[in-house]
Amino acid sequence: MAFHIPSYLSCDIGIDLGTANTLVYLKDQGIVLREPSVVAIDTASRRPIAFGEEAKRMLGRVPGNITAIRPMKDGVIADFDVTEALLSHLIGRVRRGLWNVPRVVIAIPSGITAVEKRAVMDSATRAGASVVITIPEPMAAAIGVGLPIYEPAANMIVDIGGGTTEIAVISLGGMVVSQSIRVAGDELNNAIIDYMKRAYNLLIGERTAEEIKITVGSAYPLDDELTIEVKGRDSVAGLPKTIHITSQEIREALSAPIGQIVDTVRMTLERCPPELSADLVDRGFVMAGGGSLIRGIDRLLSEKTGLPVTVAEDPLSAVANGTGIFMNNLKNWNGRTEA
């Protein structure tokens, strides 16, 4: 049943339900929330006790009765209840009151199943949304970085997130070829953890690995190579230990997962229809997602594909901004279920 919602009660929200970070875009205001997609739950009662940044700080540091969960970790919904709790927490934080019935656009990973998509939509409805529209994440990313996706020409996006890398070529508002792999920021962290264990018998946690990646990680030789001090536990002596490592070593450690990303980009290009390939020669592709901030990844990909590559101005916000732009251009919310 369609009914009219008075404007003072409506608020339109765009949500980027990412594997690592969830962002909320509020119409006319822009991005108002940015939180890690992490929920801490009480193991016995299964009740959520912390969300976002607070819950992320608990990852790897919790006592037995609390678990910190990343419900979207691999680009599929590992835990429906926890995903719903996260969505309802976020929608609740931006709703303007109990009687407020927001309309919601949610960007979802392109690898999600129909059942999972339905579950996300139902969760948003239970969280108070009056209308829910989903849009594939690469499409939102392309809109967010300003690609003219409704033109009959190739618009290519490579979004390296936490759990998945999503690649798509879009023309006339539809995805012509798309590919999603579970190799992205998390795998880079894991590669660093493995390297430290192998080369130095040093055990480090995920957060330390991420810090190393962000501080000295690279995909291409740097003009000035970097060093970082790393603290962890010696796996032989069992005691805390500090070592110094270089950006060259970390580049070597990251080369396998980065190679997989390069191969997938090339594979996507091979599946591209020839007219669209021809467009890409000049237009190249745009990179988004936190993983595109790895030093030199644009240069490496440009070298390996022969195409011009640009990194979005604010890669971590591309998808959320895309949901905002999409929603502003939406003429009719009723009857639309997806982009």
Interaction with Mg ion in 106-145: which residues (CB under 5 A)? none
Give the strand pairing for 131-136 and 103-108: parallel
- Of 70 and 279, which CB lies nearer to ligand ADP in the complex structure? 70
Is 257 a binder of ligand ADP (CB under 6 A)?
A: no
- Of 66 and 325, which CB lies nearer to Mg ion in the complex structure? 325
Binding partner of 294, given ligand ADP, Mg ion, none, CB within 5-8 angstroms per partner class: ligand ADP
- Of 48 and 315, which CB lies nearer to ligand ADP in the complex structure? 315
Is 161 a binder of Mg ion (CB under 5 A)?
A: yes
In the chain, the N- to C-terminal Cα span, in Å, equals 21
- Using CB under 6 A, which of 138, 232, 289, 322 touches ligand ADP? 289
CB of 93 to ligand ADP, least distance (A): 18
CB of 262 to ligand ADP, least distance (A): 16
Is 75 a binder of Mg ion (CB under 5 A)?
A: no
Alpha carbon distance 167, 169 (integer Å): 7
Site string (200-239) toward ligand ADP, x via CB under 6 A:
----------x--xx--x----------------------
Interaction with ligand ADP in 290-319: which residues (CB under 6 A)? 290-291, 293-294, 316
CB of 162 to ligand ADP, least distance (A): 4
User: Which regions of the chain does DSSP assign to beta strands (E)?
Assistant: 12-17, 21-26, 30-36, 39-42, 48-51, 66-69, 103-108, 131-136, 155-160, 165-171, 174-181, 202-203, 227-234, 240-246, 285-288, 309-311
Alpha carbon distance 139, 171 (integer Å): 10
- Running DSSP on this structure, what letter comes out for residue 63? -
DSSP H helical segments within 79-172, as ranges? Answer: 80-94, 114-126, 137-144
Is 138 a binder of ligand ADP (CB under 6 A)?
A: no
Is 322 a binder of Mg ion (CB under 5 A)?
A: no
Alpha carbon distance 24, 148 (integer Å): 23
- Running DSSP on this structure, what letter comes out for residue 116? H
* Number of residues lying near ligand ADP (CB under 6 A): 19
Q: Which stretch binds Mg ion (CB under 5 A): 86-94, 113-121, 248-256, 312-320?
A: 312-320
Interaction with Mg ion in 188-227: which residues (CB under 5 A)? none
Buried b (16+ CB within 10 A) or exposed e, 192-228: bbebbeeebebebeeebbbbbbeebbbbbeeeeeeeb
Alpha carbon distance 80, 230 (integer Å): 36
Which chain residues interact with ligand ADP by CB under 6 A? 18-21, 161-163, 185-186, 210, 213-214, 217, 289-291, 293-294, 316
- Per CB under 5 A, residues contacting Mg ion are 18, 161, 319
